[in-house]
Structures are given as C-alpha cells and as structure tokens.
C-alpha cells in the first residue's frame, strides 16, 4: 500500500504541527469528490446531501457547502452542529432513529424532516398539522458492505416497513400532512445492482403519494480503500436511475427531483490518520511481531467493529520512506484485545500481519482511508485518551489545524463532585 495525498515528509510535518494521533483531510480531494457527486446523473434536478455523520467537522461542512452540497443529518444535535457551522437550515434534512423532542423548533427554522417510523409520523402530525413532511421507508430489501452496515430488509429497524403503507397514509391524512418526499437508504457499501433495484421499488412507493415531488435514494456507494477493491462509478449506477425517472414522468406526468446522500464516497480516501509507533514487541519465533500505535479504536473503530481493511503505510521518523519487507500485526493503544488495526477481512477477531518494512519506535504509521466514519465514529476517551486533532491540507500543501487535540482535563470536566461517604 502507498500514501494517497501525503508524502513521507508531509506526514512528519503533520506530527510536528499537531502531534499524533492526528486526522488529516485533503481539501483538493474533498472538492473533487464533491464535484463528482454534484454531477450524479439525473433527469429533473439533483440535490446532493453530505451525510455529515461521516465526519462532522465544521471546516468539512463549510467546504462542502461552498461546493453546493446540502446536509443529511442523523440527529437533532447534528442539525444544530451544521447550523453552527453556517449551513442554512433550509439546506438540512433530518432522518433519525431518534426524533428529537425539539423537532418542531427545527421545522420552524426550515429544516426538512423525514419521519422514519409510524410513531415519528404521529408525533410530527400532532406538533405540525398541515405541514410538509418526508417519509423514510424500508423497501424490504437491503445491502451493505457488512451485515452491520445493511440498513434495509426485515432485519433492519430503519424506516417505515413498506407493508405499513396504509397506516402511513391514514396518519398523514388524519393530520392533514402533505407528503412531499420519499426517502430510502439500504446500506453503506451496498451492491450497485441492489441499489438500482431499490430505486425502482422506491418509485412504486412514490406512486402512492400524489404530492411527492422528491425521491431521496440515500447513499452507500462503495469506496475501495485497499488496492484491488472496486469503487462505485456514479455515472454507471446513476444513468439507469435517471432513465427510470424519465419513464416515470412519461407514465405519470410527474417530474421528480432526485436527492442522494453520499458520505463515504466524499470522504473515505480524502482522509488519513497519522500515528506514531510507540512500541514494537514480539511473541517469539512461533508467534508474531507487533507494532503498538499511539492510536487505535479511539480513532479508527472500523477494523475492530467490522473487520474493515485500511491501508497502513510505515514512514520513518524524520519523514522518509520505509524499506524492507518485515511483517507485523498492528494494534492500538487501548487495554482491549479487540483494538486491532490488522484484522482479517470482515473478521474483527482474527489477527493478520501486514508487510510494512522495518519498524522502530518513533516511526509513523499512516492509516489511509480514514476520512469517513473514523473521527466521527471513534471510541474517543476510552482509557481516558484525549480526542485526536484534525488537520486540513490546503491546495497549496499548507497545513491548517481544524480541531486541536483535546485537553485531557476536558474529559472529566462535566463530572460532578459528590460526598460519597454519605452514599
């Protein structure tokens, strides 16, 4: 594996500027991916929404907003975070497993709400009678890179089960709601063929709501992080969908606006984690040689959670390329046997070795493919490790800290002193 947008010298420069571990994002790659998303094939108009849960730093939100992307939020708190970063409320859509108590305040600001269950729709109708609303359906089919990223089908709680359509229509009619959006999302890393099939199923749902003007097909486009892994070609997956929208318009006279919600596609290979080799140990000739990092599941949880594969690149201290073909098991710094950076594919409990070159304490390991679902999905503060810094590489190669490393006292700052002797 090789470095994507950093050079060995630049990786060392990140350590000098922000310490390690530090996430690094490449502004040029982010813009390139945003423009690809904005060019997604469509028949009658497109809104591309950044799935901000992938990495919610304000600088990333602002960069994407400048490129014309809107925002897909997965919690009410993400909505507030996006607004604080300068995203216009009317450019934010909320589809959440937990509809916040303050959702009516968000509606008043102009935030678009997609009800993701019958109870959510009932609550929305009671609080906002006569309002416009979107509906997220589970179309009965799902697909994901792993079972843990599949959010469609009978084993998934996401969205309103498609067979509950009559009850959905009843609740909407009871409260005079105007259903203007249908939303489906089947999983992250999904099979493009399944994604296209679900698009057709989603159009069948649109037929049941004559006022729907927008169909949101979610995201989940596969991104290859490792050498040899395939990535989804948006032109290939999108063209048949655009054709289906045209056919729907010819049949019904309704020209639907398309929404998509990429996250991984935009960020995965636009980010990396720079970490330091803090120890090298062995379990002998019949065991393994291990590299211990000053990072781990506190920054990149995906290997421990999914058995996800990330390219690992060894950089020598001072900023030069590593030499040799020595192999190691790479582990994190947590007191947790599952804190593993080199699991077998899709098998988080099985260790494997990687050929990295000769490693010594003080060298760097760059974990590539760490732009999406890493900084935003970490187990930060486990073992009281502070949250890592985040850095943006500008088009001219300059480094800009976009989140400083957490002061460790902040970790327990919300704890409240009590008299334990009285308990």
Q: d(Cα 30, Cα 264) in Å, to the nearest integer?
A: 11
Kindly list the distances between the CA atom of residue 416 and the CA atoms of 83, 237, 381, in Å, as whole numbers in the listed order: 30, 53, 18
Residue 389 DSSP label: E
- On whether the CB atoms of residues 244 and 31 are closer than 8 A, the answer is no
CA-nearest of 164, 160, 151, 166 to 115 is: 160
116 is catalytic: no
For 32-55, the DSSP string reads HHHHHHHT---SS-EEEEEEGGG-
C-alpha 46/C-alpha 420 separation (Å) is 58
Q: What is the 3-state secondary structure (H, E, C) of 145-183?
A: CCHHHECCCCCCCCCEEHHHHHHHHHHHHHCCCEEEEEE
Q: Which of 128, 335, 361, 374 is catalytic?
A: 335
Q: What are phi and psi of 316, to 5 degrees?
A: -70, 150
Q: Exposure pattern of 346-378 as b/e (b: 16+ CB <10 Å)?
A: eebeebbebebbebeeebbbbbbbbbbbbbbbb
Strands 178-183 vs 214-216: parallel, antiparallel or unpaired: parallel
Nearest to 403 by CA among 384, 381, 368, 376: 376
CA distance 67 to 81: 19
SS3 of 12, please? helix
Is 104 within 8 Å of 129 (Cβ atoms)? no
Q: Compute how many other C-beta atoms are within 10 angstroms of the C-beta atom of residue 381.
A: 15
Q: Spell out the alpha helix ranges (H) of 140-283.
A: 165-174, 192-206, 234-252, 264-267
Nearest to 365 by CA among 329, 406, 404: 329
At 62 the three-state DSSP class reads helix
Residues assigned a catalytic role: 335
């Amino acid at each position: 594996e090789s470095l994507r947008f950093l050079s060995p010298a630049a990786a060392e420069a990140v350590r000098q500027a922000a310490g390690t571990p530090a996430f690094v994002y490449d502004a040029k790659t982010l813009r390139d991916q945003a423009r690809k998303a904005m060019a997604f094939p469509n028949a009658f108009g497109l809104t591309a929404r950044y799935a901000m849960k992938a990495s919610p730093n304000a600088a990333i939100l602002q960069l994407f907003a400048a490129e014309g992307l809107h925002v897909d939020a997965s919690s009410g708190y993400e909505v507030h975070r996006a607004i604080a970063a300068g995203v216009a409320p009317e450019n934010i859509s909320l589809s959440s497993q937990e509809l916040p108590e303050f959702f009516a305040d968000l509606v008043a600001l102009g935030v678009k709400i997609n009800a993701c269950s019958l109870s959510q729709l009932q609550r929305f109708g009671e609080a906002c009678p006569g309002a416009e609303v979107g509906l997220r359906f589970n179309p009965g089919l799902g697909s994901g890179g792993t079972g843990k990223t599949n959010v469609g089908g009978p084993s998934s709680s996401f969205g309103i089960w498609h067979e509950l359509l009559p009850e959905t229509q009843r609740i909407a009619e009871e409260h005079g709601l105007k259903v203007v959006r249908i939303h489906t999302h089947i999983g992250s890393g999904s099979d493009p063929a399944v994604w296209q099939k679900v698009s057709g199923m989603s159009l069948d749902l649109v037929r049941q709501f004559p006022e729907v003007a927008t169909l949101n097909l979610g995201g989940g486009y596969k991104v290859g992080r490792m050498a040899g892994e395939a990535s989804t070609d948006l032109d290939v997956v999108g063209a048949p969908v655009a054709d289906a929208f045209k056919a729907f318009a010819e049949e019904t006279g309704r020209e639907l606006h398309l929404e998509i919600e990429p996250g991984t596609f935009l960020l995965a290979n636009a980010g990396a984690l720079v970490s330091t080799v803090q120890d090298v140990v062995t379990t002998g000739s019949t065991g393994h040689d291990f590299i211990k990092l000053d990072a781990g599941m506190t920054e990149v949880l995906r290997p421990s959670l999914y058995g996800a594969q990330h390219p690992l690149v060894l950089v020598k201290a001072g900023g030069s390329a590593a030499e040799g073909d020595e192999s190691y098991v790479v582990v994190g710094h947590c007191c947790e046997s599952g804190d593993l950076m080199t699991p077998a594919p899709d098998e988080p409990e099985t260790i494997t070795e990687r050929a990295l070159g000769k490693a010594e304490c003080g060298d760097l390991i760059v974990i590539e493919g760490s732009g999406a679902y890493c900084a935003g999905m970490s187990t930060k503060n486990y073992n009281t490790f502070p949250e890592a810094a985040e850095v943006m590489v500008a088009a001219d190669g300059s480094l800009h800290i976009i989140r400083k490393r957490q002061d460790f006292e902040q970790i327990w700052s919300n704890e409240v002193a009590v008299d334990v002797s009285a308990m």
